[in-house]
Amino acid sequence: MSTDTSILSLIFDASVPVQLVLLLLLGASFMSWSIIFTKRRLIRHTKTASDDFESAFWSGGDLNTLYRSASRQKGGSQGMSSIFEAGFREFTRLTTQGDVHPDKVVDECRRAMRVSQMREVDRLEQSLATLATIGSTSPYVGLFGTVWGIMNAFMDIGNAQTVTLATVAGPIAEALIATAMGLFAAIPAVIAYNRYADKVIRLEIRYDGFTEEFSSILQRHARSKKQAV
């Protein structure tokens, strides 16, 4: 308990610029943790939804039934389901127009799925740049507070008649708190950014694979419909 009181007293006794730096870093840390928890929930939900959709898709069920199920999802389909919905909607629209070449059908379906995939990846990547910014700049902001505090500490020491360890320890400790706070804000942000960026890349690879596989399926369906006509 005495340690906490000592740290708090150092913060309250620090110069105004150092206190502003600490306040800025505290705000950055709160923002970072808010993004971390939100992004963790979003990526976990997206991965679970993609796993469930893939199981339903490869179970051999009717594509029209799967499409209607995806369209009825509360809040709109997301993840792999959204990519499927975009591709199958375009496929249905083109095949009902009449004489459309199968290759054109597949190209248009693939384009629609790519657009949907880009939206999904953009949704997953939102706020990751903020985590990267906090992780890369917080140590330098903390270092600025430390340099400012040590500069003031040496100026006070220079004006003092006698210099003891107790005289030096307090002001320098106040300054070093800014560096510690910078690391406290930066380390979780860097770890979370690397972890979530890797998860987004893995999901994007899954989306790419699904888009190509589904395009092949749609191509076979388009050719069979063309031959039937």
Q: Is the pLDDT of residue 112 over 90?
A: yes
Residue 91: CB atoms within 10 Å: 26
User: Residue 97 domain-assigned?
Assistant: yes
Could you tell me what percent of the chain has a pLDDT over 70?
Answer: 83
User: Residue 85 domain-assigned?
Assistant: no
Mean pLDDT of 16-26: 87
Burial label, 174 (beta-carbon count in 10 A; 0-12, 13-18, 19+): buried
Residue 5: CB atoms within 10 Å: 9
Burial label, 181 (beta-carbon count in 10 A; 0-12, 13-18, 19+): buried
User: Residue 78 domain-assigned?
Assistant: no
Q: Is the pLDDT of residue 31 over 50?
A: yes
pTM above 0.85, yes or no: no
User: Residue 83 domain-assigned?
Assistant: no
Closest residue by Cα to residue 10 from 178, 148, 142, 174: 174
pLDDT of residue 23: 92
Span 134-172, pLDDT tens digits: 999 999 999 988 888 888 777 767 766 665 666 666 677
Span 49-73, pLDDT tens digits: 899 899 988 887 788 888 888 887 7
Mean pLDDT of 197-221: 92
Token output for 226: 């063309």
User: Residue 216 domain-assigned?
Assistant: yes
Domain that holds residue 112: 2-70+90-228
Sequence-separated (6 or more) residues with CB below 8 Å from residue 161: none
User: Residue 57 domain-assigned?
Assistant: yes
182 — pLDDT class (breaks 50, 70, 90)? very high
Which one-letter amino acid corresponds to residue 17?
A: P
Domains: count for the chain: 1
Span 76-104, pLDDT tens digits: 667 899 999 999 999 988 888 767 787 88
